[in-house]
Structure 1
Amino acid sequence: MSDLPLLSQAQMRRIEPYFPLSHGVPRVDDRLIVSGIVFVLRNGLRWRDAPKEYGPHKTIYNRFIRWSRLGVFNRIFAELAAECGEPEQLMIDATHLKAHRTAASLLKKGMFPRRIGRTKGGLNSKLHAVCDGHGRPLIMLLSEGQMSDYKGAARMIEAFPKAKTLLADKGYDADWFREALAERKIKTCIPSRANRKVPIAHDRKLYQKRHKIENMFGRLKDWRRIHTRYDRCAHTFFSSICIAAAVIFWL
């Protein structure tokens, strides 16, 4: 077991308050099971291929699915991200996540949409994210691949924390978005679209810092089950993203 990664005791103390209470028979050690979930997601394994040292693979899978449905991992990410306080800068962007053939059915079955859409690059999902000036994600949204950047921003803007400035690429150059940020007293650093009749100046030196959100997406995609979507259900896939973001940036 010494060769396999484990979450530290300090990391577990930060996330244990958000775990559901155990009822009846004591459950398998949370530290082992959560570490097994992280190992599978990071390495892109099938659940049955999880190392036996983490516990029964069925237990690891069932715990992940059950807690995903309860929103446990989403809550862990949101609470850890909220601990950073009010950031000085915000950055917003989006990236595509390829849907594997096991998840790429467009047929809607059940109550919830799968958040998979068709684009020129095939079937994929789109991850919209807002991060702080250090490139740490604060807000994330999963949508169909064909959703435009500014529509994703419209769904997240109510959750924006207070900040002085927001950096974004020209895909977010819309008057309504600039006005909505101005109402929140957030200055914009967004290049103008090529078809804008009167270009709006932006701070080019400040804009160079926007690479940090691109780096953030790159680090998330280092986890193989994030880079390629294998999960058919949107809530389980988004839980995987929340786990990755929490472990990489907040633990």
Structure 2
Amino acid sequence: MSDLIWLSEAQMRRIEPYFPLSHGVPRVDDRRIISGIIFVIMNGLRWRDAPFEYGPPKTIYNRFIRWSRLGVFNKIFAGLAAKGGKPDQLMIDATHLKALRTAASLLKKGPVSRRIGRTKGGLNSKLHAVCDGNGRPLIMLLSEGQMSDYKGAVLMIDALPKAKALLGDRGYDADWFWAALADRKIPACIPSKVNRKVPIQHDPALYRQRHKIEIMSAICIAATVIFWLNQ
């Protein structure tokens, strides 16, 4: 297939420091397996439909599961994003991710939450994200679909890097959030909620730039490739 995805040697050198050490038998070719994982996820395929050029689908799947549980992909994303330099702007938003009806069985399985909840729209998860001024993701948090934007912000506030401004919609207009940003010396551009007695002024022209985060809906692995490896 001519449209296969292959990480370059230079890209591999950037992410290899985050790989776990191999114990005993050497691992199957990292470049082939990681490229296969990326291809499957970015094309929305079933693991068994991975092109044969990437090797046995079971090997690809097992690597994805094992490294996901070890937090390897999250470490790669966080490590590369941290090297992007100090952002001038931050943008915060959240979006729902629809879950298949068959995911209902995941709600009760295992000791760890599967981050799937139930709202009026059915089964879904919610992706909370913070991007820089170019729309490149810096922080991503997956939660149950019923978690409010407000609670998601609580979980991400301590990880916010310093910036000249943060843009968010009125769902983030809360006194605690304004205070938390002020403590970090990050000016906010957030429209006031309709029920706020004394509206807080914001810059409409600056706020219009927030569309960049609204179109960002990648997950950790895809975002790593799109925004931090292809530079």
* Alignment correspondent of 1:48: 48
What's the counterpart of residue 19 of structure 2?
19
Distance in 2, Cα, partners of 1:139 & 1:209: 18
Deviation at 1:3, TM superposition (A): 4.6
2:130 counterpart residue number: 130
Structure 2: state its 5+ residue gaps: none
Matched, 1:110 2:122: no
- Aligned AA (1:247): V
| Counterpart contact for 1:106–1:117, Cα < 8 Å | no
Q: Which residue is equivalent to 1:75?
A: 75
Note if 1:31 corresponds to 2:9: no
CA distance in structure 1 between the aligned counterparts of 2:194 and 2:176, rounded to whole angstroms: 17
Aligned partners of 1:210 and 1:121: how far apart in 2? 25
SS class of match (2:105)? coil
TM-score by length of structure 1 reads: 0.88
Asked whether the 8 Å contact 1:99–1:124 carries over to 2, the reply is: yes
Contact 2:107 2:113 in 1 (8 A): no
Tell me how far apart the structure 2 counterparts of residues 49 and 102 of structure 1 sit (CA, whole Å).
Answer: 20
Task: Write out the 4+ residue segments of structure 1 that deviate beyond 4 Å after TM superposition.
Answer: none
* Structure 2 CA distance for aligned equivalents of residues 107 and 200 of structure 1: 40
- What is the TM-score with the length of structure 2 in the denominator? 0.95
Offset of residue 130 of structure 1: 0.5
Contact kept? 1:92, 1:167, Cα under 8 Å: yes
Residue 247 in structure 1 maps to residue 225 in structure 2: yes
The root-mean-square deviation of aligned C-alpha atoms, in Å, is: 1.2
2:59 match: secondary structure: helix
1:189 aligns with 2:189: yes
Cα distance in 1, alignment partners of residues 196 and 4 from structure 2: 54
Amino acid at match of 1:46: R
Q: Which has the higher contact order (CA 8 A, sep 6+)?
A: 1
Task: Please report how far the alpha carbon of residue 36 of structure 1 lies from its aligned counterpart in structure 2 after TM superposition.
Answer: 0.6
SS at match of 1:163: coil
Query: Contact 1:38 / 1:244 at 8 angstroms: preserved in 2?
Result: yes
Distance 1:125 1:3, change over 3 A: closer
Matched residue type, 2:223: A
**Partner of 1:90 in structure 2?**
90
